[in-house]
Amino acid sequence: MSAREPAEPARPPRVLVVDDEPQIVRALKVVLREAGFEAVPAETGSEALDLAAVRPPDAAIVDLVLPDLDGIALTRTLREWSEMPILVLSAVGEEEQKVRALEAGADDYITKPFGARELVARLNAALRRAARGEEEPRIVVDGLEIDLAARVVRRDGEPVHLTPIEFDLLRVLVRNRGRLMTHRKLLAEVWGAEYVDDIQPLRTHIARLRAKIEPDDDAGAGGVGGPRLIVTDPGVGYRFSE
């Protein structure tokens, strides 16, 4: 995997940290600086919007519970004008909240309490993804070669036959590598907006796709290690590993 190359190595990436728990913000500020970021703290949603408007940050970490507008609403507002990666902090532990945040435009979520390392790793992954852009016609991951332009997929050099639906599904997942794609988002992109509630067929297609593309040692049928390429986030969606 290619390491992220900041466009201007002199300037550390600015990360907006929106959380009304002052202690968490204080700790994260130090943690992020140690990891090579500059943290911009905000206690409320409106303060976050002001700060982001004055100097657009490179990424945002948003707590779901804020005193004024909640994290979901803040995510939606930020998304209206910014493509920056947004990570949602959730203490609620409820899948529904996470799904709503992801559908509002968040790239990923992380559940409190989390390790600082995990947060930094997720943040880096999201920034890499943002830097990578859309144009990546050919991807090789874990012995799987995907040529999106030619619509050809090879596992260990052998061509893999995919149905059109399976290929579209794979393409959406691969284009958003590392990003958690909710069921609804996948359904909307592959089948169309009117199918967003039919989760069962999605599960079936994911299972078939896994059987064809996952490495044989721990097959898509759910071997000991579970699927490696298409990872399930239970109750939320799927993510194509980086």
Partner 1 sequence: MGVPSPLGFLLSAEPPPRRVGAIVALVAVALSTLIVYPLAHVAPVVSLSVVYVPAVLIVSVAWGAWLGLATAVLSAAALNFFHLPPVRHFTLRHSGDWVALGTFLVVSVVASSVAEVTRARTRDAVERRQEADLAAEMARLLLRADNLAEALPTAAARVAQTLDLSSAAIEMDTVEGDDRRIAFPLREGSNRLGTLLVGAGTSEAKLRRLQERIVPALEALLSAALEREALLGGVVETASLRRADAVKTALLRAVSHDLRSPLTAISAAGEAVGSPAISPEERAEMAAVIQEEAKRLARLVDNLLDLSRLEAGAAEPRSEWTSVEELIRAAVSEVGGGPDAFSLSIDRELPPVSVDPVQMERAFVNVLENARRHSGGHPVSVRARAVRRLAGAPATLSPEARDVGAAPRARTSGDRVIVRVVDRGPGIPPAQLERVFEPFYRAGTVTSGHRGSGLGLAIARGFTEANAGSLHVESLPGQGATFVFELPLEASSAQVVPDEPSTGTAQTAEIPVSSTGGRELPT
Between β-strands 59-63 and 38-42, what pairing exists: parallel, antiparallel or unpaired? unpaired
Give just the sign of the alpha carbon dihedral 154, 155, 161, 165.
negative
Distance CA 211, CA 220 (A): 4
**DSSP character for 7?**
S
33 CB-side CA count, 13 A: 8
**DSSP character for 23?**
H
Position among 3, 7, 8, 23 found at the interface with partner 1 (CB under 8 A) = 23
> Minimum CB separation from partner 1 for residue 116, in Å?
4
How many residues touch partner 1 (CB under 8 A)? 27
Residue with token string 């902090």: 89
Distance CA 230, CA 242 (A): 10
Residue 68 or residue 168: which is nearer to partner 1 going by CB?
A: 68
Q: Does 20 bind partner 1 (CB under 8 A)?
A: yes
Whether residue 101 contacts residue 108, with contact meaning beta carbons closer than 8 Å, is answered with: no
Q: Does 95 bind partner 1 (CB under 8 A)?
A: no
Q: Does 91 bind partner 1 (CB under 8 A)?
A: yes
Q: Does 2 bind partner 1 (CB under 8 A)?
A: no
Of 105, 107, 127, 129, give the one whose Cα is nearest residue 12: 127
Q: Does 47 bind partner 1 (CB under 8 A)?
A: no
Q: Does 28 bind partner 1 (CB under 8 A)?
A: yes
Q: Does 26 bind partner 1 (CB under 8 A)?
A: yes
Q: Does 39 bind partner 1 (CB under 8 A)?
A: no
Position among 1, 6, 11, 22 found at the interface with partner 1 (CB under 8 A) = 22
Q: Does 30 bind partner 1 (CB under 8 A)?
A: yes
Residues of this chain that interact with partner 1 (CB under 8 A) are: 20-24, 26-28, 30-31, 34, 43, 65, 67-68, 89, 91-93, 111-117, 119
